[in-house]
Amino acid sequence: MSTPEQITDAVAYHGEGPCWSETWGGLRWVDMLAGDLLTLRADGGVDRLHVGDVAAFVRPRSRGGYVVGLERGLGLADAADEPATPLPEMWSDPGVRMNEGGCDPAGNLYAGSMPYDRTPGGARLYRITPAGDVSVVLPAVTTSNGIDFSPDGTRAYYNDTATGGTDVFDVTDGELVNRRLFHSADDGRADGLCVDSAGNVWVALNRVGRVRLYSPEAEILEEVELPVRLVTACTLGGEDGKDLFITTSREKLEDPEPQAGALFRLRVDVPGRPVLPYAG
């Protein structure tokens, strides 16, 4: 079992959503409930950019800048270092917040929500087109997490964390169809995920301090153990795409580990792919 290195202090209360993009200089992730975007500097320091009450996820835009998940909708920025301009809220219920997002090869953004009290079925997965049109893909999820696509665009992997595993969809004519269980999370809770250039799937297993690598056939290829329980998400990046970055949290822990909230890194064999940007 591999052990990653800690590369920052415990800088986040609830670190989430790591994303590598050269457009903002490398790795960016969120301190979600602080409403901050965090950017890793070359010297190992961390820059903060406050964007709202919640910063749920961040993705580059194909035209430059970024899209960020805010508490009840999205924000857009034209440059990497600018605060985002909020778009109209996607819902009004203060008991539901945005949680995670990712883009498909066509430049659509998939963004999912979660109830603060984790009411079963109280959230949705939305698709936002480059033109800004919003539709509901899944009408009843609990904790929407970790969506990414296979290198050929024919599969989408998705975690509704409360279900206890990772699901896979077929992508047909741009639609997500034939949802089915890809692999159980066993004793963990499937949180963030990413797909590498060979189609393998890295899944963060929250509460048990691990990240697991699956083949496209759902075989377990590797497990990574961390010194913290709340492992939240992972992404691939670095100059050669072989750095696996892992975010962690200390949210609501009465006795958090000293490293909880730090960023970790592990060198892996198979590189990732350039992040899919939002075309809006």
The Cβ-side half-sphere exposure at 187, using a 13 Å CA radius, reads: 5
Catalytic, 104? Answer no
CB count in 10 Å sphere of residue 5: 9
The answer to whether 192 touches 16, Cβ cutoff 8 Å, is yes
How far is residue 246's CA from residue 268's CA, in Å, rounded to a whole number?
13
CB count in 10 Å sphere of residue 224: 23
How far is residue 2's CA from residue 234's CA, in Å, rounded to a whole number?
15
The answer to whether 211 touches 234, Cβ cutoff 8 Å, is yes
How far is residue 36's CA from residue 247's CA, in Å, rounded to a whole number?
14
| Helix/strand/coil for 177 | strand
Q: Which of 191, 240, 243, 269 is catalytic?
A: 191
Question: Which residues are marked as active site?
Answer: 191
